[in-house]
Amino acid sequence: MNHPHGFRIFLMAVCAASVSGAAWAKLPPPSPEAAAKAAEAAAKTAWSGKVDNYKLCLAQDRVAAHYRKTTPAAKPAAAPSAACADPGPFAYTPPAAKPLESAGAHSPPGTASSPPNTQTVQTPAANTAASAAKP
């Protein structure tokens, strides 16, 4: 049984597989500004979800109240549900930036025994022997 579209499907699968390799490529880390913007967007999205849930809660309460009012055989609510919580206006406070001292931007704690551009490494014992030999 020969399918006339079999080769075309195979060719499309090979093309999709070759292009999907680019999707797995590692991207460079975002800049601090881009990371801050993404964090703010995530916070705004979370707040929007809370607002949507609040509006849904209010609508469900209105529908339930209308149903209880218009249906004489309706059972009263078994237990009062939690009140709808208003999320309030959107307010984003970015996290405080770490000061340079605690960010590890300064020199390492050890003292340098030689200039950084020399090829030989001086040991502390060699330094003391050299200083003891000087008058």
DSSP letter for 134, please: -
Give the 3-state secondary structure of residue 127.
helix
Instruction: Tell whether 64 is covered by a domain.
Output: yes
- State the pLDDT at residue 58: 93
Instruction: Tell whether 58 is covered by a domain.
Output: yes
Instruction: Tell whether 57 is covered by a domain.
Output: yes
The range of the structural domain enclosing residue 55 comes to: 47-73
- State the pLDDT at residue 8: 82
Q: Is the pTM of this model over 0.85?
A: no
- State the pLDDT at residue 45: 96
Q: Find, among 47, 57, 50, the residue nearest to 83 by Cα.
A: 57
Q: How far is the CA of 75 from the CAs of 62, 64, 79, 81, 128, in angstroms?
A: 16, 11, 11, 15, 93
Instruction: Tell whether 82 is covered by a domain.
Output: no
Question: What is the enclosing helix (H) or strand (E) of 31?
Answer: none
Number of structural domains (the chain) is 1
Decide: 76 and 68 in contact? Cβ < 8 Å: yes
Tens digit of pLDDT for each residue in 46-101?
999 999 999 999 999 999 889 988 988 877 777 777 789 899 999 988 877 766 56
